Amino acid sequence: MSSLPMKEAVRTCLLSTRLKDLFTSISNIELDGVLRNKALRNRFMKFSDGFLSLRKDISVDRFRLGCGPGIDHRKINEWILYAVRLGVRELDLIFQSRSFETRHFTELEFAVFTCKTLLTLRLFNLPSLVLTIPTHCCLPKLKVLHLNFLKFSDDESIRRLLSGCNSLEELLVQSCELSNLNKLNVCHRTLKRLTISGGDLAPSCELEINTPNLVCFDFGYIYCEETRLSLRNLNSLSEARICIGFIVNRSSNYYNDTASVFDLMRALSCVQSFHLTGICSEDFGPGDWGTPKKDPSCLQNHIKAIKIFALKRKHVEFQLVEYLLKKAGVLESLTVEITCVHDKERAENDE
């Protein structure tokens, strides 16, 4: 029964009166309360209360809770605390309601961020929440942490969170609001996979990554030319996925800078597989190419596979590809993905 999705388990138990309450023994719980109809929301809350009360003190392996508008935040608190109390190992929280505010989540912060049994924690789509990580954050067994569409109260919040996860191996920071941070510091000795993508960094923000055991690095944020990017101790890195995107200058204009590609490649000295997206925008002209004064050592001695995505057939892009082919000393494969070009753009390129 535990191997079935929760909906299928409930349907199966309806086949016989002997199986009537058997579904309450399943250890993987999925409660989806993203409902538009008020009557359905009320039925969902009543079902969830009844289901969890029937389970009593049976341990929880995985608890996935999705809540939309109209779900009582007090019940949400009760359900999550129930899972934490029963030793949940995998916790997914998906909130899609602006009525669930920071003050509603405060009492949960201590319980969730001091859970001794958690192996995986995913927080997704909390549009109105500003997380303040408790001072005594302690997630000793946590290996996977995914943060989506969140905002941290200050620099210290994310530092406290990471310092409290001594066994962390995978960190994803996706589409989070980081514009209020002065420094994003990811320093962790056990981290193996790191993704930071899908949002904006403040103009004065300093991004420091110091992860000696990192194997895979995925980076794709819009940042400013004033942003300080520090990548250190990445000697274990074997794969890097970089989306250069746009760089914002002081006049709030967007432009692309091939130099940033080489700055990153120099920092990723031991990488063997390099994926690159977003080399240039629509207005990126042939005169913007700048050959680096010093070739990245990883390009000469380590990189065996290069993948370039979203090529727009601009002259400068082909110059970059030509440079990579000439300088890649141990390259074994090169993959180039070209985007669809409209007739007007094709005519401009031909000129």
Q: Of 163, 159, 156, 164, which Cα lies nearest the Cα of 139?
A: 164
Where residue 134 falls among pLDDT bands split at 50, 70, 90? confident
Where residue 327 falls among pLDDT bands split at 50, 70, 90? confident
Any bridge partners for residue 197, and if so which? 174, 220
Burial 170-191 (b: 16+ CB within 10 A, else e): bbbbbbbebeebebbbbebeeb
Strand residue runs (E) in the chain:
28-33, 62-67, 90-95, 120-124, 130-131, 144-148, 151-152, 170-174, 183-187, 193-200, 206-210, 216-224, 228-232, 239-243, 247-248, 254-255, 273-277, 305-311, 333-338
Residue 166 and residue 188: Cα distance in Å, rounded? Answer: 8
- 11 against 166, higher pLDDT: 166
One-letter-per-residue 3-state SS of 250-275: CCCCEECCHHHHHHHHHHCCCCCEEE
Task: Give residue 271's pLDDT.
Answer: 85
Asked whether residue 103 carries a pLDDT value surpassing 50, the answer given is: yes
Compute the half-sphere exposure of residue 351: CA atoms within 13 Å on the CB side of its CA: 7
Task: Give residue 248's pLDDT.
Answer: 43
- 339 against 295, higher pLDDT: 295
Least confident residue range of 79-83, 94-98, 262-266, 347-351: 347-351
- Report long-range pairs for 46-55 (Cβ below 8 Å, ≥24 apart): 48/75, 48/79, 49/75, 51/24, 52/79, 52/82, 54/21, 54/24, 55/24, 55/25
Where residue 82 falls among pLDDT bands split at 50, 70, 90? very high
Task: Give residue 5's pLDDT.
Answer: 60
pTM of the complete model: 0.83
Q: What is the pLDDT of residues 205-223, one digit of tens each?
A: 788 899 999 999 998 766 5
Mean pLDDT over each residue of the chain, to the nearest integer: 79
